[in-house]
Amino acid sequence: MLAKQQQLEEVQIDEIDRKIIAATQQGLPLTRHPYNDVAASVGVDVAEIISRMKNMTELGVIRRTGVVPNHYKLGFKANGMSVWNVPEEKIEELGKKVGSIDFVSHCYERPRFLPEWPYNLFAMVHGKSREEVQQKVNVIAELLAQDDFGHQVLFSTKILKKTGLRIK
Amino acid sequence: MELHANDKIIINQLQGGFPICEDPWSELEKKLNIPADEIIQRIEHLKNEGILSRFGPMYHAEKMGGGLTLAAMEVSHESFDEIAEIVNEFPEVAHNYARDHRLSMWFVIATETPEQVEDVIQKIENKTGIRVYNMPKLQEFFLGLKFEV
């Protein structure tokens, strides 16, 4: 488990990168030249902002740049966290399979807690209703077939807290 | 709010791949065939309406040296609000959801260093007297929000 966690390796970023992160983690300004405005607030020229942000994208520090829709507002009001007990030795193959389904937004391997929590694969499924989520979960179950040793869907019943991630 | 055809294009096409260059809007104008100013205005409007929760780069917390985990607790119905209040008071708790399961409370802990995650979990356990299941991701299999409207 520890060895696997280390796969999410930390990469080297410096003081200027951190300033760029601080200036953009709430978003880019919706101006005609957003990177110029970031450059002005960080205090370096725009070419440097662009090359550093491209570099951070290549390193995976920036996952992607674009818009993030609020699925709830778009009518995807049901969100089900589907959890699966799948054979450990096939987790990579199965995880990639499930993660590539277009209605799965996040797909992770997480540790089991035996005996009470045998589930090691998590796939977040969104739908317009619980029924729709359930149908989509059934599609995953069919795909996993004999490798599905058991699964559950945990529906969210209430958002208790939601704040963005803050990075200093 | 009723979405305009161009809003849908923006939502479907711009969940990644916003250009990193001096004049990103002109590049998008060509790609989406929508005037640059209109794209900016539509994103602004969609943000104000709450249809978009963000516009900009999405950062990967662990790659920057931070700690991140998903944690779960078995909280009884009677003490649910009280426990939620204790858990939510921790600034490291970013999201917290009630879910219909014996493990009824699920939250994300984000810290500046990986070591601090364990520390926060300890504190939550001490304050609530309830075991916290620590379920960090061991592997990630694609992360793309692919909502189509």
Q: pLDDT at residue A8 above 70?
A: no
- Are B41 and B68 contained in the same domain? no
Same domain, B37 and B92: no
What's the pLDDT score for residue A1? 43
At A161, the amino acid letter reads K
Of residues B14, B68, B106, nearest to A66 (C-beta):
B14
Both B75 and B115 in a single domain?
A: yes
Q: Indicate yes or no: CB of A62 within 8 angstroms of CB of B58.
A: yes
Which residue, among A21, A67, A94, A165, would best test binding to B if mutated, counting the most B CBs under 10 Å from its CB?
A67
Residue-number span of the structural domain to which B43 is assigned: 5-48
Q: Which CATH number fits domain A13-59: 1.10.10, 1.10.3470, 1.10.287, 1.10.150?
A: 1.10.10
Which of B15, B21, B134 shows the shortest C-beta gap to A67?
A: B15
B107 located within any domain: yes
Nearest to B94 among A63, A95, A163 (CB): A163
Q: Please give the ipTM for the structure prediction.
A: 0.79
The fraction of chain A above a pLDDT of 70, given in percent, is: 90
Q: What is the CATH number of the domain that holds B113?
A: 3.30.70.3460
Q: Is the pLDDT of residue A167 over 50?
A: no
Q: Can you say whether the dihedral through the CA atoms of A82, A25, A70, B143 is positive or negative? A: negative
In this structure, the answer to whether residues B90 and B122 fall within a common structural domain is yes
Min Cα–Cα distance to chain A from B124, Å = 16
Cβ–Cβ contact A66 with B under 8 A: yes
pLDDT in tens, A86-107: 999 999 999 999 998 888 988 9
Of residues A26 and B70, more confidently modeled? B70
Q: Is 3.40.50.2000 the CATH classification of the domain at A78-155? A: no
HEC string of chain A equals CHHHHCCCCCCCCCHHHHHHHHHHCCCCCCCCCHHHHHHHHHCCCHHHHHHHHHHHHHHCCEEEEEEEECCCCCCCCEEEEEEECCCHHHHHHHHHHHHCCCCEEEEEECCCECCCECCCEEEEEEECCHHHHHHHHHHHHHHHHHHCCCEEEEEEEEEEEECCCCCC
Chain B hits for A112, CB-CB cut-off 8 Å, are: none
pTM: 0.79
Structure confidence at residue A10 as a pLDDT band (50, 70, 90): low
Given a cut of 90, whether residue B122 has pLDDT beyond it is yes
Q: How many domains does chain B have?
A: 2
pLDDT in tens, B35-52: 999 999 999 999 999 999
Same domain for B66 and B44: no
Tell me, yes or no, whether B23 and B72 share the same domain. Answer: no
| Domain range annotation of chain A | 13-59, 78-155
Question: pLDDT tens digit string along B58-111?
Answer: 988 778 778 999 999 999 999 999 999 999 999 999 889 999 999 999 999 999
Distance from C-alpha of B73 to C-alpha of B137, rounded to nearest angstrom: 17
Is residue B148 a part of any domain in this protein? Answer: no
Please check whether residues B36 and B85 belong to one and the same domain. no
Cα torsion at A63, A67, A73, A77 (round to 10°)?
-30
CB A128 within 8 A of CB A78: yes
R_g (Cα) of chain B, nearest Å: 20
In a domain, B147, yes or no: no
| Residue B144 resides in a domain | no
